[in-house]
Amino acid sequence: MCGIVGCVGTTDASIIVLEGLKKLEYRGYDSAGIASLNGDLDIRRAEGKLINLEEKLQAAPLLGRIGIGHTRWATHGAPIERNAHPHADEARAVAVVQNGIVENFMELRVQLQAEGHVFQSDTDTEVITHLVDKFLAEGHDLVEACRRAFLRLQGAHAIAVVGKSEPDKIVAARLGNAGGVIVGLGEGKNFLASDIPAILAHTQQVVFLEDREMAVITADTVRYQTLDGNPVGKEVKIISWDAVSAAKGQYDYFMQKEIYEQPQSIQSTIRGRVDFTTGQIKFEELTLTPQEARNIDQILIAACGTSYHAGLVGKFIIENLARIKVEVDYASEFRYRDPLIDDRTVILTITQSGETVDTLAAMEEGRSKGAKLWSIVNVMGSMAHRISDGSILMQAGPEIGVASTKAFTTTLTDLFMLGMYLGQLRGYLSGAESYALAQELARLPELAGKVLANRANDYQKLAELYYQQTDYLFLGRGFNFPIALEGALKLKEISYIHAEGYPAGEMKHGPIALIDDRMPVVCIATQDHVRDKMISQIEQVRARDGIVISVINEGDEEVTQKSNHVLAIPRVHPLLTPILAVIPLQLLAYHTAVRRGADVDQPRNLAKSVTVE
């Protein structure tokens, strides 16, 4: 949550920071600001979206070869200009941006006020400004003043500081899991960002800060040290994403682009990992011996939101293909239920961002109890990626829309391959079975393309008919039940229509009371072993005049007859069906939100990386 960008070494630093913030607006968008040093410390801040800040900058540009900026998702203090970052002291000696929560801010604020510091905002972050100011006044240089200030903070933080006394540098730090701190290395200029897309236009060479590490960034040098003051050597990583893949291109919204990118992202996910002549699977960063695979007693999947829904499908896949017991938890609940974990347990976390604090906490819980940590993660170098014993990188490319789409389908593809991999190692999948499954995988990108081809009109018509409805129900069974949950989540988060996902058999135990002629009920009724059961649920909805929108396999006349509308997908192996079945639901949500005039990419109150508990 919240996005930080910094740049040093060029006269257009504030423009680079603004452009970077635009790439991070998915992280928070209730207010924003930039500070620059040009002799004096100069700051522009604005309430609301970045466009408001941009207008202010056009009217009064920020000059200077150094700048730090922030786009905010409010925790402490209302989303008004006064509370927007950067926060400076009264004398304008120091400016600070922060992502995270200063848990002891009230205690620090009272102390600092007693010492004469005057606060101008309601935020927790402003205490950092005054702490740095205090240590500067005691005679320390900027880096040491920052270090001493950071040591006083409780909580998790990503921080950047500039100071008038040393106008050539940005001091940055990562303390705990409040989101990434990434240093970007350029030619005669260097960068800082919470996330890679912010600096991709300028460099693909990056360094990730670890917990309790600081970076001192000037135009030509970057020096790293721990919070204890010890120098530390860092590895430079090359990011394979490019600036084009992080741009909207011809599409109206990132979400739309990302929905339509799914055939390619699924293709990239499969590429190089499947031997199509034998069906054997291999992963670059997750390698096991057959014995190690056989030693696994259970896999506990922990994830949030859409990633949790992917985990629910993963349970079906892994239990079916590899015969390992799988449990799935909301990561936010995991550590509070005292899960049974031992050294034959694998904790598999799924996280697009790799920064979700609840998911990282679940990993810590697993680590402390001796489990192996695996992750399926999209962002290379993110915390989840770095602390895992084994990882599968999603290959989805940057996902900017707050509503996750392509990360979901690439995760399901990864889970299918993981199920195959474990099944092969544990001896549950024969060569012939592996070969047959690999052939199904090979068809997947093309089949996803078919679901997307030339159907925009169908979805626009549905959106036109039902965009004013206040409630939706989504029903599915078996591996399509998580797809019902995901369809409901997509619709509610971007269109603000109340939507619930239910296992279809549960409908009669409660939600049926809601059904009348104003209730669209989306039924996922593909041709699998529970299709007949789905048909009886559809009959029950029809008997109460509900509006039935069915996701069917192409040519299913029986379900078509019983439905008001159908959205057809091609047939594929049952365990791959969820990957195709979710695409119509993404499109339904997208077109409904567009018809309602909602902000598809930046829905209210949400943020892409949830780095607070």
CB of 485 to ligand AGP, least distance (A): 11
Task: Report the residue closest to ligand AGP, judged by CB.
Answer: 305
Q: Tell me: does residue 352 bind ligand AGP (CB under 6 A).
A: yes
307 binds ligand AGP (CB under 6 A): yes
Only segment of 173-181, 396-404, 439-447, 497-505 that touches ligand AGP (CB under 6 A) = 396-404
| C-beta closer to ligand AGP: residue 71 or 351 | 351
Q: Counting contacts by CB under 6 A, is residue 304 touching ligand AGP?
A: yes
Q: Estimate the crossing angle of helix 262-270 against helix 431-452, to 10 degrees.
A: 160
Q: Tell me the backbone φ, ψ of residue 531, rounded to 5 degrees.
A: -60, -45
CA-to-CA separations, 425 to 123, 272, 296, 346, in angstroms, rounded: 53, 18, 11, 16
Residue 2 a catalytic site member: yes
Q: Which stretch binds ligand AGP (CB under 6 A): 196-204, 299-307, 466-474, 552-560?
A: 299-307
Query: How many residues line the site for ligand AGP (CB under 6 A)?
Result: 14
**Catalytic status, residue 234:** no
Site for ligand AGP in 105-144 (CB under 6 A): none
**CB of 307 or CB of 563, closer to ligand AGP:** 307
Instruction: Report the residue number, 241 or 435, with the smaller CB distance to ligand AGP.
Output: 241
Distance in angstroms (rounded) separating the CA atoms of residues 53 and 441:
47
Chain residues 438-497 in contact with ligand AGP, contact rule CB under 6 A:
493
> Least distance from C-beta 306 to ligand AGP, angstroms?
3
Catalytic pick from 2, 7, 304, 523?
2
User: Could you tell me which stretch among 214-222, 347-355, 388-396, 535-543 binds ligand AGP (CB under 6 A)?
Assistant: 347-355
Residue recorded with tokens 């019983």: 562
Minimum CB distance to ligand AGP smaller for 177 or for 550:
177
- Annotate each residue in 591-610 with x if it binds ligand AGP (CB under 6 A) or - if it does not, as one string: -------------------x
Options 18, 266, 402, 593; binder of ligand AGP; rule CB under 6 A? 402
Quick one: which of 6, 163, 263, 305 contacts ligand AGP (CB under 6 A)? 305
Please provide residue 79's backbone torsions phi and psi, each rounded to the nearest 5 degrees: -80, 70
Binding of residue 410 to ligand AGP (CB under 6 A): no
- Residue 382 makes contact with ligand AGP by CB under 6 A: no
**Contact of 320 with 575, CB cutoff 8 Å:** yes
Catalytic residue (choose from 22, 23, 257, 608)? 608
Q: At residue 435, what is the residue type?
A: Y
Contacting range for ligand AGP; rule: CB under 6 A; set: 115-123, 145-153, 317-325, 352-360: 352-360
Q: CB–CB of 26/601 below 8 Å? A: yes
Q: Can you give 296-351 as a three-state secondary structure string?
A: CCEEEEEECHHHHHHHHHHHHHHHHHHCCEEEEEEHHHHHHHCCCCCCCEEEEEEE
Among 306, 395, 537, 563, binds ligand AGP (CB under 6 A): 306
**Would you say 310 and 271 are in contact if contact means Cβ atoms under 8 Å apart?**
no
Tokens of 329: 């938890």
99 vs 53: CA distance, rounded Å:
19
Closer to ligand AGP by CB, 246 or 304: give it. Answer: 304
Q: Please name which of 271, 274, 291 lies closest in space to residue 282, comparing C-alpha atoms.
A: 274
Q: Considering only residues 194, 351, 391, 480, which one is a binding residue for ligand AGP as defined by CB under 6 A?
A: 351
User: Residues, the chain, total?
Assistant: 613
Please report the sign of the dihedral spanned by the C-alpha atoms of residue 347, residue 324, residue 573, residue 420: positive
CA 11 to chain centre: 33
Token look-up 């070969």 returns: 435
| 262 binding ligand AGP? (CB under 6 A) | no
Phi, psi of 608 (to 5 degrees): -70, -45
| 356 near ligand AGP, rule: CB under 6 A | yes
Which of the stretches 284-292, 304-312, 508-516, 546-554 binds ligand AGP when contact is defined by CB under 6 A? 304-312
What's the longest Cα–Cα distance across the chain? 81
- Contact (CB, 8 A) for 449 and 496: no
Q: Does 83 bind ligand AGP (CB under 6 A)?
A: no
Nearer to ligand AGP, 267 or 353 (CB): 353
| Burial class of 235 by CB neighbour count within 10 A (0 to 12, 13 to 18, 19+) | exposed
- Would you say 419 or 603 has its CB closer to ligand AGP? 603
Residue whose CB is less far from ligand AGP, 307 or 410: 307
Give the pair of three-digit tokens for residue 452: 């997307």
Question: Please, what is the minimum distance in Å from the beta carbon of residue 224 to ligand AGP?
Answer: 26
- For residue 431, count other CB atoms closer than 10 A to its CB: 11
Whether omega before 584 lies within 30 degrees of 0, making that bond cis, reads no
* Closest C-alpha to 330, from 346, 308, 306: 308
Measured from the Cβ of residue 344, the count of other Cβ atoms closer than 10 Å reads 12
Backbone angles phi, psi at 10, to 5 degrees: -150, 145
Could you tell me how far CA 573 lies from the centroid of its own chain? 28
**CA 268, 270, 275, 280: dihedral to nearest 10 degrees?**
150
Least distance CB 396 / ligand AGP (angstroms): 11
Residue from 194, 404, 413, 480 in contact with ligand AGP (CB under 6 A): 404
Q: Which CB sits closer to ligand AGP, 10 or 177?
A: 177
Other beta carbons within 10 Å of 165: 10
Nearer to ligand AGP, 84 or 403 (CB): 403
Candidate segments 29-37, 301-309, 528-536, 553-561, binder of ligand AGP by CB under 6 A: 301-309
353 binds ligand AGP (CB under 6 A): yes
Question: What is the closest distance, in whole angstroms, from the C-beta atom of residue 494 to ligand AGP in the complex?
Answer: 8
Compare residues 117 and 492 and give the one whose CB is closer to ligand AGP. Answer: 492
Q: How far apart are CA 501 and CA 308, in angstroms?
A: 14
- Residue 98 C-beta: closest distance to ligand AGP, Å: 20
Q: Which range binds ligand AGP by CB under 6 A, 69-77, 191-199, 305-313, 465-473?
A: 305-313
d(CA 25, CA 54): 13
Catalytic residue annotation: 2, 608
Where on the chain is the footprint of ligand AGP (CB under 6 A)? 304-307, 351-353, 356, 359, 402-404, 493, 610
